[in-house]
Copies of this chain bind each other. A is one copy, B any other.
């Protein structure tokens, strides 16, 4: 682990990341020593920092530190946290700020290959996502909704659960984004009120034409998913998991999820399963 470039595993207990969740993070797949979708991850980190008014570390600095930590890893997960640092009177941000960056490397998780090949059965989570446009899209450190959602899944052993917002729209998985194929359209939920704008989601939206699909960002209802030609989940670590069922209702299966997963792996955007 590197904290502001120095090896170590501890942080000031006065850090605002701890006190308020005042910061952002990235979870990045490392393949053969190289961070995948690095530009997209950095861009999101930068825009998240900008929205919270935190000075983002320079790309070259982060790239150098990532290489120190992961340059020798065949497959690994790199996590980058940027907080606003310590100080300030209560909630008020300090002036000037000294942001803190924390880079840590983690073992590649052993998700079963069957999740990619055969798909997953995902329950609906009981907890809903609150609608907060000021924080929507950001991968910030206020993640209690996801912690509670994940706690619900513990007893079922489900690998992922799907979250609605408080208005009943389907938004995302606890750790993944959601897509549905309908004819020649590729739907993914509008995240302007809640949810995290994933980098694999962005990559798929940008490449949709490669698969003769028209990307559509819109409100997606639970019924939209159930009546889709197929639906799937994405993130930087899992790649693409087709959805076999949601909340016990079987979904149609199609060839798109697998095809998109193979294309992304071939392009070096995700780790091949």
Chain B residues with CB under 8 Å of A84's CB are 147
Give this chain's copy count.
Answer: 2
Kindly state whether residue A150 has any CB partner on chain B within 8 Å: yes
User: In the complex, which residues 169-187 of chain A have their Cβ closer than 8 Å to any Cβ of chain B?
Assistant: 174-175
Chain A, interface SS category: loop
Q: Is the CB of B147 within 8 A of A20?
A: yes
Residue in B21, B83, B142, B154 whose beta carbon sits within 8 Å of that of A93 in the complex: B154
Q: Are A91 and B149 in contact (CB under 8 A)?
A: yes
Answer yes or no: A9 CB below 8 A from chain B CBs.
yes
Q: Is the CB of B22 within 8 A of A91?
A: no
Check if A202 is an interface residue, CB within 8 A of chain B: no
What's the interface size class on A, roughly? 35 or more
Residue from B10, B25, B143 in contact with A91 in the complex, judged by beta carbons closer than 8 Å: B143
A134 & B127 in contact (Cβ 8 Å cutoff): yes
Q: Complex formed: what's the CA distance from A154 to B90 in Å?
A: 12
Q: Give the residues in chain B near A8, CB-CB below 8 Å.
A: 13
Within 86-123 of A, Cβ neighbours of B (below 8 Å) are at 89-93, 95, 102, 104, 109
Q: Is the CB of A18 within 8 A of B91?
A: no
